[in-house]
Amino acid sequence: MTDSTQPAATLVARLAARDPAPRRVQVTRVVDLDAASTFALLADVRNHVRWIPLTHGRYPMTAAGPLPAGPFPVGTRFTMISGPGRGLPDRMIVTELRTAGPGAACTTSSMTLRKAGPVLLGAAGIIVEPSGPGRSRVTWWEDAYLAGPVPARVTRAVVGPVLGAMMRLALARFAREVAAI
């Protein structure tokens, strides 16, 4: 039983604490491109504007200009902006980057991002593994929820289907792009 005089913020915090383990939404697709090339394209977030509608980004610069092509290094902060008009900013930080290389024991490459607000919080990632000669299996996942007082378990139910549709569209567009190469 909840005391009706309990402050709303305390009640929301108690509800949020009951949230079970993260529930991620993921989309997997096999594409006709080798794993190294697939990862290089997908993990370079500057390419995402080609596959995700109404999206553009703000990326870090060095004294010499833009960062080189390819995945950003761990610790890099960037912002993707999606939606009509000014859009909604999605600030992210690269928290993990594993690249399979020639002779590496692991053939899987992955990148993990932390979503740092102001609208979305959580994590996202891309995993790429070989799937036969000249093919790769891509898994794009998101575990995101809306920032604010509503518990994550509630907002994940709203955000998850939208992110799932976005990932399906992005990977379908990516697959069409690489098929045309």
Q: Tokens at residue 48, please?
A: 């995402």
Predicted pLDDT at 121: 97
Cα–Cα dist 124/41, whole Å = 16
Identify which of 9, 80, 7 has the alpha carbon closest to the alpha carbon of residue 50: 80
Predicted pLDDT at 81: 97
Predicted pLDDT at 21: 46
Predicted pLDDT at 101: 74
| Structural domains in the chain plus CATH codes | 23-179 (3.30.530.20)
Q: Is 32 within 8 Å of 141 (Cβ atoms)?
A: no
Q: Treating both helix axes as pointing N-terminal to C-terminal, what angle do 152-179 and 35-42 enclose, rounded to 10 degrees?
A: 120
Cα–Cα dist 157/135, whole Å = 33
pLDDT tens for each residue of the chain, 181 residues long: 445 555 656 655 555 555 554 589 999 999 999 999 999 999 999 999 999 999 999 999 999 999 999 999 999 999 999 999 899 999 999 999 999 877 666 799 999 999 999 999 999 999 999 999 999 999 999 999 999 999 998 999 999 999 999 999 999 999 999 999 8
Question: In this structure, which long-range contacts are made by residues 62-68, counting pairs with CB atoms below 8 Å and at least 24 apart in sequence?
Answer: none
CA dihedral 80, 73, 168, 181 (to 10 degrees): 110
